[in-house]
């Protein structure tokens, strides 16, 4: 199985775990069902915009083949096609945050990635899962552990930064607040 087949199969598995009716419907056909296109939504932030996604998908043979603007929905979009025409098109849209309140933009910026390239460290984490813990005779639901992602950059001397950024870490710690 090729990398793109593995990639698409994993996306399909993920999708049907959230949308089981899609798998049921696809099984009703008496033939192989081929997806015409797959759609993804993102934000127009440098870390995750549609062009960042398109750059990633190039390794699988996809290239940008059209661009769109949905004024009322405040979205920009592109669609990608693969060199193998049997593979589904990919439609990527991004919410134009500049057209919303500064509070909304700040919310997403704080949610997605803490730190910057200039600070030599970008970090993000998932929210901590909740677990039940017994304190004496009382059970309490408390945050457990979180999974953190970090991208480190080289400083002016070429060495990869090994420290931490306190303002970023402070935001990540909020994940385990009760």
> Which domain does 50 fall in, by range?
36-98
Lowest mean pLDDT among 2-16, 103-117, 163-177: 163-177
Q: What is the pLDDT of residue 16?
A: 87
Residues written for the chain: 178
**Whether pLDDT at 95 is above 90:** yes
> Is 105 within the bounds of a domain?
no
Tens-place pLDDT, residues 97-116? 999 999 988 888 777 677 77
Handedness of CA 150, 148, 93, 19 (dihedral sign): positive
Q: What is the pLDDT of residue 175?
A: 58
Cβ contact 89:60 at 8 Å: no
Handedness of CA 153, 157, 162, 166 (dihedral sign): negative
> Is 108 within the bounds of a domain?
no
> Is 78 within the bounds of a domain?
yes
> Is 106 within the bounds of a domain?
no
> Is 162 within the bounds of a domain?
yes
Comparing 165 with 56, which gets the higher pLDDT? 56
> Is 65 within the bounds of a domain?
yes
Same domain (yes/no): 125, 160? yes
Same domain (yes/no): 126, 161? yes
Number of domains in the chain: 3
Same domain (yes/no): 119, 164? yes
What is the average pLDDT score of the chain? 86
Beta bridge partners, 142, equal: 131
On whether the pTM is more than 0.85, the answer is: no
Say if strands 89-95 and 37-43 run parallel, antiparallel, or are unpaired: parallel
Q: Which of 47, 75, 98 is the last residue of a domain?
A: 98
Same domain (yes/no): 120, 145? yes
């Amino acid at each position: 199985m090729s990398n793109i087949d593995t990639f698409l199969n994993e996306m399909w598995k993920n999708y049907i775990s959230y949308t089981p009716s899609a798998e049921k419907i696809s099984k009703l056909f008496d033939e192989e069902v081929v997806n015409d296109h797959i759609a993804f939504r993102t934000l127009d932030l440098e870390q995750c915009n549609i062009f960042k996604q398109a750059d990633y998908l190039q390794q699988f043979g996809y290239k940008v083949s059209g661009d769109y603007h949905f004024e009322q929905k405040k979205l920009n979009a592109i669609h990608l096609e693969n060199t193998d025409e049997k593979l589904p098109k990919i439609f990527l849209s991004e919410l134009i945050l500049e057209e919303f309140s500064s509070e909304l933009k700040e919310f997403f910026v704080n949610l997605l990635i803490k730190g910057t390239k200039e600070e030599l460290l970008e970090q993000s984490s998932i929210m901590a899962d909740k677990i039940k813990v017994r304190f004496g005779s009382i059970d309490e639901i408390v945050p457990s552990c979180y999974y953190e992602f970090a991208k480190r950059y080289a400083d002016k001397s070429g060495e990869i930064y090994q420290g931490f950024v306190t303002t970023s870490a402070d935001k990540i710690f909020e994940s385990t607040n009760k």
